[in-house]
């Protein structure tokens, strides 16, 4: 095969720490993606779907009132305007299309807040594939509207009762399903995590965010941004945004969830406060205790509530190419409300973390910033309204 | 070899002893005209004292080797029964050391192979982890999320401390890869019977016989079959095609379902007696 192989490692990170049963499927997937990503027929089909079904390209929006508030120009990359309301659909459509081409008839996915589950259920409805979505029973309780959406779209939502009954356990349950049904099923992982080739493949499918933002920046300003900012949970919107700028003189800032504060131990900052370890098949930076037991993460935002992160981010951190910072639940909630009132945009609580950091870190210097608004906040209304009421006392 | 040749493994064994002790245990069973019986147990489940007691029962009830699970928070290769046991053990405060108490209890009698996940090894430090296994008398390690091509440092550290790193092969493993794994195997080859995670199955796949035959031909060490084996009839049929039979979830469930430690001991003892009977003449 002439197509370049899909990366398995990013520096020391990445790899395939999975049961032997999955190795042949990962080999097949790797070969299929290496071929598909340089196959013009596949890429044309994917581009058409992204344009006509997802609604790409998404705007790069000059946020005037927000810029005025912070004292520097900022553009929002409007992934919240994608079909189903977040960047997750870019990856879901791409992987589902690939799975169909590979002859798979059944799709497995995991979901935390439900955005990736809804995106995958949507892609499966579009392409006529069976879909099962694993979701922690605690998340099912918290995200009832997304469960209803997935059911309406014809997906089967499987509750996961293990551990804290949230995203980490849902990923494990999805992997176990895949181990048992690897012949006819494809696992559409929702972030740039997991065993190779997933981190590279998900990045390839999300890089459209950064590719568009880069050319839109040049078009709008005749220049590249000074800083590119995105939130980091598993890290798919951020790696997708950063990737186009890796070779440019542009600062890359990833914003993690500090939850109740890094010192509280209740956070989701795997890069800022984690250690090198293995979770869900990849060596990366993880939250674990001194015995190597994986810890539960915490964030007000379900999409950042994950004790691991994509291996490419761990590498970008170590090389210093990207900087990783964190903001607390409270900062994110306040930013959520502030942007709603400044711009008439209700951002996802995940994206609100990136905005919260920007609000407090806007030096007076030349240039402009691009911030990935990874999703819309409708899903967060109940949670955020209640928490804001508590904050307001 | 005519007997199991137990070593005084409760003190630190000499390097390379692990693979030899495992080989001796398989050879002794074969000398008796049967496949080896390797029950699995979860260490420190439901607590450290129970772990020691269950290990004692395994050894007394005719286990040839014991596979000892080290509780881990995210055991990807395990099904619901073993996952739940690990979670319960950790909630009760299990550590590597408390799980290894079961190993110390019986390591001077029969070889104990620890089943542990990579992150615990990495987090403890490869050398430190291996030295603690060796110090507890373990003969080897099964690392279900460390396939061929990953974790050279882990494998080296295990070797330095005389521990055999037992590789797994699955029905989905390509013949080429299977040959490479079998050729480099230490202790024994762990043949995963079915495409799936650990847990009881009503039926085992028909292609297992061919797979076991190939693995035995390609490997210089014994081949033991595990995953899904839960009845004496299944044990007898596996014994006819492999060198060893591994029973896991069925026994962990027996411990889980028993109201107290005494009933658990009786339940696993009875199951192992039936298993040994099923093995006679294999």
Question: DSSP string covering A78-96, please?
Answer: EGGGSGGGBTHHHHHHHHH
Give how many domains chain B has, as a whole number: 1
Banded model confidence at residue A188, pLDDT cuts 50, 70, 90 = very high
Q: Are A18 and B149 within 8 A, CB to CB?
A: no
Render pLDDT for B20-51 as a digit per residue (tens, 0 to 9). 999 999 999 999 999 999 999 999 999 999 99
Q: Is B185 part of a structural domain of the chain?
A: yes
- Average pLDDT of every residue of chain A: 96
What CA–CA distance (Å, rounded) separates A37 from A212?
17
By C-alpha distance, which of A55, A200, A263, A23 is closest to B169? A23
Q: A261: burial class by Cβ within 10 Å (0-12, 13-18, 19+)? A: middle
State yes or no: pLDDT of B16 exceeds 60.
no
How large is the angle between the packed helices A381-392 and A329-343, nearest 10 degrees? 110
- Reported as a pLDDT band with limits 50, 70 and 90, residue A141 is confident
Does residue B152 carry a pLDDT above 90? yes
B107: in domain:
yes
* Cβ–Cβ < 8 Å for A370, A62: no
Q: Is B256 a member of any domain?
A: yes
Question: For residue B8, is pLDDT > 50?
Answer: no
Beta carbons of B79 and A176 less than 8 Å apart? yes
Segments forming the whole domain that contains residue B277 = 15-281
d(CA B66, CA B103): 9
Q: Which residue in chain A is spatially nearest to B142 when comparing CA positions?
A: A19
**pLDDT, tens only, A9-54:** 999 999 999 999 999 999 999 999 999 999 999 999 999 999 999 9
Indicate whether B119 belongs to any domain.
yes
In 3D space, the residue among B167, B187, B142 whose CA is nearest the CA of residue B19 turns out to be B187
- Please state, in angstroms and rounded to a whole number, the distance separating the CA atoms of residues A234 and A303: 8
Active site residue A172: no
Report whether B184 contacts B63 (CB < 8 A): no
Q: Report the SS3 class of residue B216.
A: helix
Residue A160 has pLDDT above 60, yes or no: yes
DSSP letters, B250-269, are HHHHHHHHSSSHHHHHHHHH
* CB contact (8 A) between residue B119 and residue A21: no
Residue of A79, A110, A138, A312 marked catalytic: A110
Q: Say which of A20, A180, A292 has its CB closest to residue B173.
A: A20
Q: Round to whole Å and give the CA distance between B109 and B101.
A: 14
Can you tell me whether residue A294 is helix, strand or coil? strand
State yes or no: pLDDT of B203 exceeds 90. Answer: no
Nearest to B145 among A18, A24, A292 (CB): A18
Phi, psi for residue A387 in degrees, rounded to 5: -70, -40
Chain B residues lying within 8 Å of A290, measured CB to CB = 123
Name the strands in the sheet holding A185-188, side by side, starting at the edge strand that comes first in the sequence.
A156-160, A130-136, A106-111, A185-188
Task: Tell whether the model's pLDDT for residue A101 goes beyond 60.
Answer: yes
A77 is catalytic: no
- Check which CATH number belongs to the domain holding B268 and give it: 3.20.20.70
Inform me whether the pLDDT recorded for B269 exceeds 90.
yes
Residue B199 scores a pLDDT above 90? no
| Structure token digits, residue B253 | 């469930």
| Residue A373, strand partner residues | A78
User: In chain B, which residue's Cα lies nearest the Cα of A17?
Assistant: B145
d(CA B103, CA B117): 17
- Give contacts of A 275-294 with B, CB under 8 A: 275-281, 283, 286, 288, 290-294
Instruction: Tokens 């420190």: give the residue.
Output: B44
Q: Which residues of A touch B195 (CB under 8 A)?
A: 21, 179-183
pLDDT given at position A378: 92
Q: Please give the C-alpha separations between residue B169 and each of B95, B155, B194, in angstroms, as whole numbers.
A: 28, 17, 10
Whether the per-residue pLDDT at B91 is higher than 80: the answer is yes
Match 């080290």 to its residue by tokens.
B70
Q: How many residues does chain A have?
A: 393
pLDDT at A349 over 90: yes
- Is there a domain that residue B6 lies in? no
Contact A373, A351 (CB under 8 A): yes
Cβ distance of B76 and A172 shorter than 8 Å: yes
Residues from chain A contacting residue B86 (CB–CB below 8 Å):
none
| Mean pLDDT value of segment B251-270 | 96
Q: What are phi and psi of B15, to 5 degrees?
A: -55, 150
Contacts of B224 (CB under 8 A, 6+ apart): B36, B38, B188, B189, B190, B191, B242, B243, B244, B245, B246
Q: ipTM value of the model?
A: 0.94
Average pLDDT over residues B236-245: 96
Q: Which residues of B touch A173 (CB under 8 A)?
A: none
Cβ separation of A277 and B172 shorter than 8 Å?
Answer: no
Cβ proximity of A268 and A304 under 8 Å:
yes
The residue to which tokens 């060796």 are assigned: B134
**A17 interfacial to chain B (CB closer than 8 Å):** yes
B78 included as an active-site residue = yes
Distance (Å) from the alpha carbon of A37 to chain B's nearest alpha carbon? 25
pLDDT band of A113, cuts 50, 70, 90: confident
Does residue B3 sit within a domain?
no
- The answer to whether the CB of A266 falls within 8 A of the CB of A164 is no
Between CA A232 and CA A246 the distance in angstroms is: 17
Average pLDDT score over chain B: 93
pLDDT by residue (tens digit) across A190-207?
999 999 999 999 999 999
**Taking CA atoms, what residue in A is nearest to B81?**
A162
Mean pLDDT of B232-246: 96
Contact A291 B197 (CB under 8 A): no
pLDDT of residue A142: 80
- Out of B20, B78, B126, B186, which one is annotated catalytic? B78
**Residues of chain A neighbouring B133 (CB-CB closer than 8 A):** none
Q: Judge whether residue A3 has pLDDT over 90.
A: no
* A247/B contact by beta carbon, under 8 A: no
Residue ranges of chain B whose CB lies within 8 Å of a chain A CB: 72-74, 76-77, 79-80, 83-84, 87, 90, 95-96, 117-124, 144-151, 167-174, 177, 192, 195-197
Higher-pLDDT residue of A3 and B263 is: B263
Long-range contacts, A55-58 (Cβ 8 Å, 24+): A55/A81, A55/A82, A55/A83, A56/A82, A56/A90, A56/A208, A56/A212, A57/A212, A57/A216, A58/A82, A58/A209, A58/A212
Calculate how close chain A gets to B178, using CA atoms only, in Å. 10
Asked if residue B82 lies in contact with residue A242, where contact means CB atoms within 8 angstroms, the answer is no
Q: Give the whole-angstrom CA distance, residue A206 versus residue A200.
A: 10
Residues A199 and A193: beta-carbon distance below 8 Å: yes
Whether A57 has a pLDDT exceeding 80, the answer reads yes
Helix axes of B152-160 and B126-135: crossing angle, nearest 10 degrees: 40
Nearest to A292 among B77, B123, B196 (CB): B123
Whole-number pLDDT of residue B7: 43
Residue B220 lies in a domain: yes
B2 falls within a domain: no
């Amino acid at each position: 095969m002439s197509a370049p192989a899909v990366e398995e490692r990013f520096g020391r990170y990445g790899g395939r720490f999975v049961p032997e049963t999955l190795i042949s499927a990962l080999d097949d997937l790797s070969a299929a993606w290496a071929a598909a990503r340089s196959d013009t027929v596949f890429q044309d089909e994917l581009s058409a779907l992204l344009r006509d079904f997802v609604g790409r390209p998404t705007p790069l929006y000059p946020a005037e009132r927000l810029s005025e508030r912070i004292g520097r120009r900022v553009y929002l990359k409007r992934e919240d305007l994608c079909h189903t309301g977040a960047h997750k659909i870019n990856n879901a459509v791409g992987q589902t299309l690939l799975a169909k081409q590979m002859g798979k008839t059944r799709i497995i996915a995991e979901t935390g807040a439900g955005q990736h589950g809804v995106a995958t259920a949507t892609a499966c409805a579009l392409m006529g594939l069976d879909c099962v979505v694993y979701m922690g029973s605690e998340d099912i309780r918290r995200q009832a509207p997304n469960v209803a959406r997935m059911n309406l779209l014809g997906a089967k939502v499987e509750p996961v009762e293990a551990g804290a009954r949230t995203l980490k356990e849902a990923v494990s349950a999805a992997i176990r399903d895949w181990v048992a049904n690897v012949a006819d099923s494809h696992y559409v992982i929702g972030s740039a995590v997991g065993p190779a080739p997933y981190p590279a493949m998900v990045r390839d499918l999300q890089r459209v965010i950064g590719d568009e933002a880069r050319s839109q920046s040049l078009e709008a300003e005749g220049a590249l941004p000074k800083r590119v900012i995105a939130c980091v949970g598993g890290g798919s919107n951020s790696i997708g945004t950063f990737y186009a700028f890796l070779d440019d003189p542009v600062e890359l800032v990833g914003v993690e969830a500090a939850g109740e504060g890094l010192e509280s131990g209740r956070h989701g900052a795997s890069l800022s406060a984690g250690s090198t370890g293995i979770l869900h098949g990849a060596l990366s930076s993880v939250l674990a205790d001194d015995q190597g037991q994986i810890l539960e993460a915490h964030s007000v935002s379900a999409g950042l509530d994950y004790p691991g992160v994509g291996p490419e981010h761990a590498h970008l951190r170590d090389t210093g190419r990207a900087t990783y910072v964190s903001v607390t639940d409270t900062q994110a909630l306040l930013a959520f409300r502030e942007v709603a009132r400044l711009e008439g945009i209700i951002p996802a609580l995940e994206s609100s973390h990136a905005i919260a950091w920007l609000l407090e870190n806007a030096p007076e210097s030349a240039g402009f910033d691009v911030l990935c608004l990874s999703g819309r906040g409708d899903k967060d209304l109940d949670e955020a309204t209640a928490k804001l009421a508590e904050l307001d006392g | 070899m005519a007997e199991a040749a137990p070593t005084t493994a409760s003190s630190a064994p000499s390097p390379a002893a692990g693979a030899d002790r495992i080989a001796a245990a398989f050879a002794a069973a074969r000398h008796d005209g049967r496949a080896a019986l390797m029950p699995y147990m979860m260490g420190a489940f439901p607590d450290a004292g129970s772990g020691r007691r269950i290990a004692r029962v395994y050894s007394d009830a005719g286990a040839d080797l014991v596979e000892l699970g080290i509780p881990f928070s995210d055991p990807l290769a395990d099904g619901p029964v073993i996952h739940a046991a690990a979670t319960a053990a950790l909630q009760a405060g299990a550590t590597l050391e408390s799980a290894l108490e079961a190993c110390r209890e019986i390591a001077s009698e029969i070889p104990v192979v620890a089943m542990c996940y990579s992150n615990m090894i990495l987090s403890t430090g490869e050398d430190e982890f291996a030295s603690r296994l060796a110090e507890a008398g373990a003969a080897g390690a099964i690392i279900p999320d460390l396939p061929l091509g990953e974790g050279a440092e882990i494998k080296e550290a295990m070797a330095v401390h005389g521990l055999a790193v037992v590789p797994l092969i699955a029905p989905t493993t390509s013949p080429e890869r299977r040959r490479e794994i079998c050729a480099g195997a230490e202790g024994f080859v762990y043949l995963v019977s079915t495409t799936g995670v650990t847990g009881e199955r009503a039926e085992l796949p028909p292609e297992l016989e061919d797979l076991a035959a190939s693995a035995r031909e390609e490997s210089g060490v014994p081949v033991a079959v595990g995953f899904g084996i839960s009845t004496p009839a299944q044990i007898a049929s596996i014994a006819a095609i492999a060198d060893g039979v591994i029973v896991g979830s069925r026994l962990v469930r027996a411990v889980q379902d028993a109201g107290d430690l005494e009933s658990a001991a009786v339940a696993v003892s009875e199951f192992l007696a039936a298993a040994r009977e099923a093995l006679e003449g294999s």
